[in-house]
Amino acid sequence: MCGIVGAIAERNITAILVEGLKRLEYRGYDSAGVAVLSAAGDLQRRRRVGKVYELEQALASEPLTGSLGIAHTRWATHGAPSERNAHPHFSGEQLAVVHNGIIENHETLRERLKGLGYVFTSDTDTETIVHLLHHTLAECGGDLTAALKAAIPELHGAYGLAVISGSQPDRLLAARSGSPLVIGLGLGENFLASDQLALRQVTDRFMYLEEGDIAEIHRDSVQIWDASGAPVQRETVQYHDGAEAADKGEYRHFMLKEIHEQPKVVQRTLEGRLGNDHVLVQAFGPQAEALFAGVRNVQIVACGTSYHAGMVARYWLEELAGIPCQIEVASEFRYRKVVVQPDTLFVTISQSGETADTLAALRNAKQLGYLASLAICNVGTSSLVRESDLTLLTQAGPEIGVASTKAFTTQLVGLMLLTLALGRARGNLEATIEAELVEELRRLPTRLGEALAMDKIIEKVSELFAEKHHTLFLGRGAQYPVAMEGALKLKEISYIHAEAYPAGELKHGPLALVDADMPVVTVAPNNELLEKLKSNLQEVRARGGELIVFADTKAAMSNGEGTHVVNMPHIHDALAPVLYTLPLQLLSYHVAVLRGTDVDQPRNLAKSVTVE
């Protein structure tokens, strides 16, 4: 999605803005731009379609110098990716705006502003903001902050805004509603961004804006007003780690680095949350113990990979905790008339905590009478965390690759902790089973390390996919969502069409697709469904389909003509979904590398989907 960077300093800030944009590249975008106010008072911009590199080239031949500026990476929503649609947008020669989000009443505003004589040079909703602000500025006697405060109520939709004007060079303005913004605090200089990662090269101290906040940022001070217009202080957060996240280290891609980080981050997600033989329910927050005892149902809502984690959890919650569980994608849930069962815990799962549909679903759910809300999330400062009653933070660290990997496995770990905590609170989980699973969780990082050690074997297997256009992924039980996640990874980064099915559904339709050009990928832990799965695989082989099977060492499956078996370390069946995810991630990664796609920033996709 779009990215924002802003700076006000005494030094030249152009390189800081560009470096900030580079650090936001992982979010996905199709054009980039920067506007800088020079010491002589000229506001100038450079904009380019394509990568930040193109913008850098433009700046190399036509440099911009100044100590106040804003920059943006745009992911097209209104209007095609083009230079004239790229941000910053100007009104006149002195006012510039960059915007994340969508202004829903842009057509009405556009007509009104045209009536006032404004000429539009782009197809974007953002241009209505800058002209509206220009119009309001005149009404506010040239006071930019007053003009922004007056214009904001006229904007319907979602926005994170950064504004600068040549007429007030002492300030950088920001406004947040539905799209995150963070102020980076320096010494005699301050910064703004849509994600703190953009500013880690200049500061480690941050102030997160809340919904409805407007901020006036000067070189040596920051003033913030809340949604009611009252002056407020926002807490300063200092980071002491995570700077290494923006670095690929020895790895060729962030995705590969993040896949290999999984033993470490799973370990971190478990830290402080396990007692000798039980899960520490306080990990979910101080009220969790009392609340969990009253939970009779669970409703999970999430998108994409996070939705797949929730699907695995449904199997766990019903089987291990004896609690009925429903799961739905957030974009459907938010627009559906939902019948809420009494005593239902509403659970959202999100890496970013800023996914527009998941946030909207949470906000709707609050009106519907759920017992409480719980966010399983990777970003402690996110909107989802701030707006939920209970939180379990996954400790995956910043995830840069657009294709989610370590966020998924740490979500699964968080959901297993939830299953065990709820099972015990409801009296449905035997203490011996909880103790056994706690022990298995402790061993999980080691098992994951063993799975990653098979990278070379999986790289070899990936060659089977290099020329293929379609693939099937099969799984049974809790491995079905793992198959879905495997298919999502493959299509996201290699652009190969991939479908996942519960293996038992094969002969109800998809078997018609199977031939020598359609590889079938299967995950086969050693459980009570193994024999049934083996029959499904025979059905594939009988139609000439090529099989790639990730199988438990104890599953007694071996290579044969058209059958490629990769033996996986043995693991407790309950935790098999975590382990079996890893070879599917590696497979997608190697196929994408072979096909030469942009692994970390696949086409058309954004890391954090902050618009509908």
Q: Residue with the closest Cβ to ligand M6R?
A: 304
By beta-carbon proximity to ligand M6R, the closer residue of 345 and 377 is 377
**Which residue of the set 257, 468, 489, 607 is catalytic?**
607
Q: Does 399 bind ligand M6R (CB under 6 A)?
A: no
- In this chain, which of 306, 391, 409, 610 binds ligand M6R, going by CB under 6 A? 306
- In this chain, which of 49, 97, 288, 303 binds ligand M6R, going by CB under 6 A? 303
Select from 63-71, 116-124, 198-206, 604-612 the region that touches ligand M6R (CB under 6 A).
Answer: 604-612
Q: How many residues bind ligand M6R (CB under 6 A)?
A: 16
Specify the 3-state DSSP secondary structure of 428.
coil
Angle 144-151/126-139 helices, nearest 10 degrees? 120
At its nearest, how many Å lie between ligand M6R and the CB of residue 84? 29
Mode of pairing for the β-strands spanning 231-232 and 222-225: antiparallel
**Residue-by-residue DSSP string for 218-258:** -SS-EEEE-TTS-EE---EEE--S-GGGG--TT-SSHHHHH
- In this chain, which of 85, 194, 305, 373 binds ligand M6R, going by CB under 6 A? 305
- In this chain, which of 6, 66, 304, 310 binds ligand M6R, going by CB under 6 A? 304
- Residue 575: CB atoms within 10 A of its CB come to 22
Q: Round to whole Å and give the CA distance between 24 and 4.
A: 8
SS3 content of the chain, % helix, strand, coil (to 5): 40, 25, 35
Q: Round to whole Å and give the CA distance between 612 and 608.
A: 11
Which sign does the torsion angle of CA 121, 123, 124, 126 carry? positive
Select from 24-32, 111-119, 136-144, 398-406 the region that touches ligand M6R (CB under 6 A).
Answer: 398-406
**Is residue 105 classed exposed, middle or buried when 0-12, 13-18 and 19+ CB atoms within 10 A define those classes?**
middle
* Binding residues for ligand M6R restricted to 492-551, rule: CB under 6 A: 492
Each residue 402-431 as x (binds ligand M6R by CB under 6 A) or -, in order, gives xxx---------------------------
Q: Round to whole Å and give the CA distance between 560 and 297.
A: 46
Select from 7-15, 152-160, 189-197, 400-408 the region that touches ligand M6R (CB under 6 A).
Answer: 400-408
At its nearest, how many Å lie between ligand M6R and the CB of residue 111? 34
Q: Does 358 bind ligand M6R (CB under 6 A)?
A: yes
Q: Tell me whether residue 2 is one of the annotated catalytic residues.
A: yes
Structure tokens at 200: 């880690």
Q: Does 351 bind ligand M6R (CB under 6 A)?
A: yes
Structure tokens at 81: 């990716």
Q: Omega into 88 within 30° of 0, i.e. cis?
A: yes
By beta-carbon proximity to ligand M6R, the closer residue of 205 and 386 is 386
Structure tokens at 15: 């390189």
By beta-carbon proximity to ligand M6R, the closer residue of 203 and 358 is 358
Q: Tell me whether residue 607 is one of the annotated catalytic residues.
A: yes
Each residue 259-298 as x (binds ligand M6R by CB under 6 A) or -, in order, gives ----------------------------------------
DSSP secondary structure letter of residue 123: S
**Helix (H), strand (E) at residue 333:** helix 330-333
The residue ranges that bind ligand M6R (CB under 6 A) are: 303-306, 350-352, 355, 358, 402-404, 492, 605, 608-609
Kindly list the catalytic residues: 2, 607
